[in-house]
Structure 1
Amino acid sequence: MKLPQPPERLRRPARPGGGPPGGRPRPVRELVLIAVLFGVYKLGRLAASGRVGEAFSNARGVWDLERRLRLPNEAVVQHALLHSRVLVHAADSYYAYVHFPATAAFLIWIYLRRPAHYRWVRRVVVALTAGGLVLHLLVPLAPPRMLAVTGLVDTGAKYGPAVYGAPQTDTVSNQYAAMPSLHIGWAAVVAVGLVVATRTRWRWLWLAHPALTTAVVVGTANHYWLDGAVVAVLLATVLAVVRPPARAALALGSRRVAVAAGPMRTARRE
């Protein structure tokens, strides 16, 4: 008995360089893309350096605005950390070692296990990072650890591990790019991506990652509350425009991958 052929739209060949429709993109292309985007981001951050006076003026403005808005003082969070040397060291370690590895591990996992979702996540990360870079360029901002009026301690420098050196000699990062906090933004992307891409009832616990990241970046005096609020608004805007794949599209993508892989299985059997 001859089986019916799949519709023509399901028998389209793989896209050149992009993998099968609905499947994961080619890994080499993705690695090159990520490297290029990271290079552009770092160059953009460094291009924003050198505006020290403006960065401190903006920092004082942000600090005064938070007080007028009656936001909780960042010192409350830091004082809770400083009661325990182990706790403050753990917070500094979280700030230093979790941000990039956690994001990279998430991108690798979603690339391998949820390729259709990976395309969506990639667009969200690119859009969020681009928006953050624009704000870094427009609004240079000294972090609260540098602003004497805050009374906050640079916990990284005092207790370790330290992420940054002296701002005057730091050629790797722009320390006057506190607004918005991409530590919080990327942590939120990881959490939202895992909530959307998985179905376990425990998936909502991933929201603890951006919540903990917020407490860490504020408690270590690397960011203000408003840095987190701004990145939350920016991410919400990106998510409103860059929509996750619908279930129907995911099912269609899976069928396309299966159809594309069919001839390969037949060839192996023969």
Structure 2
Amino acid sequence: MNARTEPAETEAEPGTPARPSLIREFLLVAGLFLVYKLGRQLATGHTADAFRNARHVWHLERSVHLPHETAVQSALLHGDTLVHLANTYYATVHFPATLAFLVWLYLRRPAHYVWARRVLAVLTTAALVLPFTFPLAPPRMLTGTGLVDTARIYGPSVYGPPSSDHLSNQFAAMPSLHFGWALMVAIGLMAATRSRRRGLWLLHPLVTLLVIVGTANHYWLDAIVATAMLGLALAVVPAPRRTATTAGRGTGLLKPRETVLAGAGR
């Protein structure tokens, strides 16, 4: 007599963590975004220091032979459509992409969600320290570099004049959380999925890097520092353990119990 088998999808995977409370997670994530915004606003001022540090960063990049930000911006300025798309990407993708990433993990990979949320919290908290200790004007504000403020000229722009902008701190260019969060989104999705094409998620931080540099909102060093901070956050936050379901998805591998049942049904 053949053994009766049930589809593997109908059985809960042993050891799968319970999904955190939705209300609690909503408050935690909302609090993370709020701390990010308020923390940057508290670090306002220090205009002279911000421009002095900007000159130091610019000359340091040239002394270590990093590519000129002007090379990326020149490529964007070949057409109004391209530069407008870059400005739109900068203005509209950062928060929604990160939020969509967290929502998907919460619904589909609870353990990876908790891990990613903790990593983002550590990265964001650490990033809020630098504007107090190292205020930095973005390259679009520097003169004599050949860079222009693409958002102001071509739109759309998320910033007003620094003197009257009370919603953000424009002298907090380092580190670039635009890039840090984008890189974590890619790393998190690569860790939570097993598709052979999951490396394509790295296109998100790559495009983000070209956008933040090409629009003159960040220096290369802003992204490098964000990467280093993310590396430290990943080192201190324990990664989730891979379950049999996650490990086998996309590879064609059967779980041990599925192998036994399949053999019993022959």
TM range (shorter): 0.7 to 0.9
**Equivalent in the alignment of 2:252:** none
Select the residue among 123, 130, 146 that pairs with 1:128.
123
Contact 1:77 1:215 in 2 (8 A): yes
Q: Aligned match of 2:61 in 58, 66, 69?
A: 66
Q: What's 2:157 paired with? A: 162
Q: 1:21 to 1:202 in 2, by over 3 A?
A: closer
Equivalent residues of 1:116, 1:250 under 8 A apart: no
Runs of at least 5 residues in structure 1 that lack an aligned partner in the other structure:
1-19, 252-270
Partner of 1:223: 218
In structure 2, the gaps of 5 or more residues are 1-14, 247-266
Give the corresponding residue for 1:105: 100
Which of 72, 91, 100 is matched with 2:86 structurally? Answer: 91
Question: 1:243, CA displacement in angstroms?
Answer: 2.8
Matches within 5 A, 1:174-189: 174-189=169-184
Give the aligned CA root-mean-square deviation in angstroms: 1.6
**Structure 2 counterpart of 1:22, which letter?**
P
Matched residues in 2 for 1:67 and 1:244: separation?
Answer: 37
Deviates more, 1:145-154 or 1:183-192: 145-154
Structure 2: how far apart are the matches of 1:58 and 1:197? 39
1:22–1:250: 8 Å Cα contact kept in structure 2?
Answer: no
Decide which structure has greater helix share: 1
What's 2:203 paired with? 208
Please identify runs of 4+ aligned residues in structure 1 that moved more than 3 A: 248-251
Q: Distance in 2 between matches of 1:250 and 1:234?
A: 31
1:7-22 equivalences under 5 Å are 22=17
Identity fraction in percent: 60
AA in 1 matched with 2:199: W
Give the partner amino acid of 1:232: T
After TM superposition, the score normalised by the length of structure 2 is 0.84
User: 1:21: Cα distance to partner?
Assistant: 7.8
1:37 deviates by: 2.4
More displaced, 144-153 or 209-218? 144-153
